[in-house]
Chains A and B, each alone.
With several copies, the nearest count.
Chain A
């Protein structure tokens, strides 16, 4: 092959050395030290010249030979790295816990984590609010002006969009829920379904702190 011709005197031996080097570098599970390849090569092989030749053979190809410290490895050409990343969209049903949490936030917003837990009767696992925020349906609104200043949660426009609501006031009220058979008619007279608050911030809320968006959970949990 033309690629091997540069080794004037012993082209066959050098070509063989190059093949072996190539195979060793390919099959190795970690970058390979030049000296580690010597036992496989012909006596007196010029390791530097060989690796240099091999690197030039792969220059501009889809795979290139790169140096990592004193070691060498084949790597996908940098401009083709996009091939190694792939975006994939899965549809998954929302868990019951997430669905219930979302429902409470929708009706009772702005609500803190503790308030959600009070309605649910169980604590919320860390992942649940994450999922809802990742889905883009729930956002942190502000902080309640009570001791501990807990974060308040509310729904987003994407929430309205996904559930086909024009406004939060479209959420069915007590009588609608009873009419649809979702609430039994035996609920006590004191039972109320709140009217969700759709505005920016209530009188009882402060804006979020500047660093709130970093890690919502840790802040929130420290207030529990």
Chain B
């Protein structure tokens, strides 16, 4: 802040030099109101007595100067510039009776108010900092005696949680305790041997299910026994040892030893 104040104590034209302008980055101000406040202070009068018109013109000239140097200006500053340009026009052009817009005087009063309020808050901040501050001027107990809190934990758990925990972990342990169940699968070769043995020398048409009755009763063997012996029966047909017959779709599959095979 000290730096910008110094710069402002110079005359405006000197700012036109590129090097100077680069240092007068508008970012050095805390926003357009701050910039305006600095300018108003240069009028060296009570904020309520400043010439708002002169202030507006000064601000607009400054923004123009900065823009000529192609320095990026934050939108806040441009919004203020637009508002001040409007204020200027309102102050200079007589107001019509049917004009609902705020008058130039009202706008000027608003600007003065906002500047005064910002300055007041700035003063308040420095008055706060100039108070006797804790840790700088006033001190708390250097060796506080902390209150030692003995905590007694009251653990919460109920029987249901206990039993669920027990059952869950016992069950987790189960798979490791007995061997994996081995699925019995009929290999094609086995199926063929079983089928050949069952059919024997029978020339009667007998259904496959009947041959396999004893195996199909076992649920875990049913599918594999059917599938493998059906495949095996096709193999036997191909070899000319067995004949197959089915009267309709999904009807029992009948089979017998091929006639004349023995002959």
Do A and B touch (CB < 8 Å)? yes
What is the total of A-B residue contacts with beta carbons within 8 Å? 258
Expressed in whole angstroms, the minimum distance between the Cβ of B188 and any Cβ of chain A is 33
Q: Answer yes or no: A175 CB below 8 A from chain B CBs.
A: no
Distance of A181 from chain B, by nearest CB (Å): 8
* B1 lies within 8 A of chain A by Cβ: yes
State A197–B133 Cα separation when bound (angstroms): 22
A96 and B162 alpha carbons, distance in the complex (Å)? 10
Specify which of A29, A83, A122, A180 is in contact with B163 (CB 8 Å cutoff).
A180
Besides A84-B148, A91-B154, A121-B76, 12 other CB < 8 A contacts? Answer: A27-B141, A74-B143, A75-B134, A78-B137, A86-B135, A94-B155, A102-B162, A121-B114, A134-B153, A165-B131, A172-B128, A190-B177
Interface pair A107/B137, CB less than 8 Å apart: no
- B131 and A163 form a contact (CB under 8 A): yes
Whether B170 pairs with A193 at a CB distance below 8 angstroms is yes
Q: Is there contact, CB below 8 Å, between B166 and A27?
A: no
Q: Are A27 and B155 neighbours in the complex by a CB distance under 8 Å? A: no
CB distance from A129 to the nearest CB of B (A): 13
Main DSSP-derived SS at the A contact region: mixed
Contact partner of A187 (CB less than 8 A), chosen from B109, B124, B127, B139, is: B109
Q: Which residues of B contact A (CB under 8 A)?
A: 1, 30-34, 36, 76, 80, 106, 109-110, 113-114, 116-118, 120-129, 131-159, 161-174, 177-178
Kindly list chain B residues whose C-beta atoms are within 8 Å of the C-beta of A94: 155-157, 161
Task: Tell me if A131 and B155 are in contact (CB < 8 A).
Answer: yes
Give the residues from 140 to 191 in chain A that come closer than 8 angstroms, CB to CB, to chain B. 161-165, 171-173, 177, 180-184, 187-188, 190-191
Partner of B174, one of A182, A187, A193: A187
Chain A residues within 8 Å of B, Cβ to Cβ: 23, 26-31, 73-76, 78, 81-94, 96-100, 102-104, 106-107, 119-123, 131, 134-135, 137, 161-165, 171-173, 177, 180-184, 187-188, 190-191, 193
Q: In the complex, what distance in Å separates the CA atom of A190 from the CA atom of B109?
A: 14
